Structure 1
Amino acid sequence: MGSRSWKAALVAGVVVATPVVLPVASARAVTAITVETEQSPSNSQASKTITVDCPTGTFLYGPGGGIDGGAGSVTLESVVPEGSPPFRARVTAVELGAFSGSWSVSAWASCGPLTTNLQVVPASTASSTATTKEVSMSCPGSRALYGTGFRTSGGSGSVLVHDVIPGTSVAPKSVTARATARPGLTPGWRLDVFGVCANAAPTMRVEQATTTPGSASTRGVSRVCQQSGTRAHGVGVQTMSEASPGDAVDGRIALSTTAALTTTSGSAGAAENGAVADNWQLRTYVICSD
């Protein structure tokens, strides 16, 4: 699990499973986190999956994924936390139709010591042919959200996840994912959202950063944890139309990055899948804790 530099362009313009209660451990572990990453080979294979494990004795607070290359013709299909308690990030990216260029996918894992009641909580939509889908999860009891994840199934490379939005309370508890099928998709598909939950840290907050609206074909935005001593471990993303602020540019924007790339910052990136006439902007959400 070597650490590799990330080269993606980031500067251009409901059925809920029953969570397992885990053994009690320290609830003040966030300052000890590390970031692990793995990258797939770069080639023209239509679908790629890469995993990264936390070092022995540490566990996953938040998964992340990113694409190097692809030019809007490749999108993140899933960024999933795995294990009970979680210890692995699994990331899959797929081509959106025929694409002859080379590209790679990377997985990131924000890792730290076991903290109290660390667990993955999933929620899913039904499988259907609906064009747009939304699903939310909420951490049980008094637990807070540390990391986010998502997955589409059955989309055949024709479903674009465009929103993975954590709650913005002081100690966030929820995350909502939204996705849209491209025109012509006929099979049924499903959208899953995942939350990495644990007892709240003493200080938790969600930081935000948003690009200005524009017509650039790619957009990226990063956010550093602002409060001294806090660390980044969970990231969300939202695409928005300038004409209708807060509304997604449904089915036309391919996610290229959503990850805590360092222990103090998170990033999101996206690219147009074909020409998008209206201006759009991108927002990143970074969950920071001490």
Structure 2
Amino acid sequence: MHARSHRVRAAGRTALSLALVSATVLTTQLTLVAPAAAALPGLTRVTSTGPSNSDWKTWQAACPANTLLIGGGGRLNGGDGQIVMDTMVPVFGTTDVYSVTGREDDAPGFAGNWSITATALCAQPPVGWEHAEAASVWNSNSSKTITVGCPSGKQVLGAGVEVNGGLGQVVVDDLRPAADLSNVSFTAIEDGTGHTGTWQLRGEVICVTPPAGLNRVSGFGVLDSTPVKSVTATCPSGQRVHGVGGEVDSGAGQVRMTGVDLLSDTQVRVTAAEDEDGFAGNWAPRAYAICA
């Protein structure tokens, strides 16, 4: 478990990630969330869209000054199911950011242009803010699952997932907050053609002393063979989204999440698409909203 001092360790990764992206932001939007009795003070949603081109890329949304990152999400714009969003992580430094990486899958890749939209959820320092992470071993197993939990008395607000060494051939299948928000379960699976190299799955959670009314809401999509589909999870009346999650049910590595982000201040949307070869089985996306 890491307290706020974890910023120092991650500062180098912030600089590296920033070096991987274009210096020109196409769209950035900062939204102050409408007041709600149980929302964290200063809750702010920052959304930023990067350049559209045919390169693998990382893009980030940054928190305003004097706020902490409590969660975030991302989505791919374009790609026709041939882009793997293999990293959605909080990065803590002088400025907190939520960082999203997309990579084209193996041959033939994707000839068109595509972009990334990253969203950061930020707030004034919440009571009991802590950060925890865990990672799997490096090996060539076709799937991996890890669980990262919060200490007793604290619950999950936000989460992040990263596939190292997957090279666009390993898809994130689960980023699933537990019903009691005590932990988050992460699963990644090699795609339909497999991956000959070794790879690692890493998960992160942001834990806080829970604000009043903190709860998890889910939405389940249609279980069929439609190649692209979306599903939303909506917070109860009077509550706002504080964290996001998603998963693909029965995708067998041939369906990848292309969006796990906020549709609005009260809704989380998860979008998923079959790869270019399609998938004969039935599958469904699931969205999770952490609300307060």
**TM-score scaled to structure 2, two decimals?**
0.83
Alignment of 1:22-171 (within 5 A): 30=40, 32-45=42-55, 47-83=56-92, 87-97=96-106, 98-169=109-180
Stretches of structure 1 lacking an aligned partner (at least 5 in a row): 1-17, 23-27, 242-248
CA contact (8 A) 1:31 1:229 kept: no
CA contact (8 A) 2:3 2:129 kept: no
CA contact (8 A) 2:41 2:124 kept: no
What CA distance in whole angstroms lies between the structure 1 residues aligned with 2:48 and 2:130? Answer: 23
What CA distance in whole angstroms lies between the structure 1 residues aligned with 2:238 and 2:60? Answer: 29
Query: Which letter does structure 1 place at the counterpart of 2:230?
Result: G
**After superposition, what is the alpha-carbon deviation per residue over 1:146-177, rounded to whole angstroms, capped at 9, x for unaligned?**
012100000111101111110112xx120001
How many percent of aligned residue pairs carry the same amino acid? 29
Confirm or deny that 1:222 pairs with 2:225: no
What CA distance in whole angstroms lies between the structure 1 residues aligned with 2:149 and 2:242? Answer: 18
Q: Which residue among 257, 260, 266 is the counterpart of 1:258?
A: 260
Q: Which has the higher contact order (CA 8 A, sep 6+)?
A: 1
1:277 aligned partner: 280
CA-CA distance at 1:100 after TM superposition: 0.2
CA contact (8 A) 1:85 1:118 kept: no
Q: Which residue among 222, 231, 241 is the counterpart of 1:212?
A: 222
What CA distance in whole angstroms lies between the structure 2 residues aligned with 1:192 and 1:105? Answer: 21
Stretches of structure 2 lacking an aligned partner (at least 5 in a row): 6-37
**TM-score scaled to structure 1, two decimals?**
0.84
CA contact (8 A) 1:35 1:262 kept: no
What CA distance in whole angstroms lies between the structure 2 residues aligned with 1:280 and 1:184? Answer: 19
Give the direction of change, closer, same or farther, for the CA distance of 1:56–1:225 in structure 2 (3 Å limit): same
Q: Which residue among 188, 197, 201 is the counterpart of 2:211?
A: 201
Give the direction of change, closer, same or farther, for the CA distance of 1:207–1:100 in structure 2 (3 Å limit): same
What CA distance in whole angstroms lies between the structure 2 residues aligned with 1:272 and 1:162? Answer: 12
**After superposition, what is the alpha-carbon deviation per residue over 1:251-281, rounded to whole angstroms, capped at 9, x for unaligned?**
1111101113432111111100121001111
Query: Which letter does structure 2 place at the counterpart of 1:207?
Result: V
CA-CA distance at 1:40 after TM superposition: 1.3
CA-CA distance at 1:87 after TM superposition: 2.3
CA-CA distance at 1:106 after TM superposition: 1.1
Query: Which letter does structure 1 place at the counterpart of 2:196?
Result: T
CA-CA distance at 1:75 after TM superposition: 1.7
Tell me how large the CA RMSD over aligned residues is.
1.7
Query: Which letter does structure 2 place at the counterpart of 1:20?
Result: A
2:202 aligned partner: 192
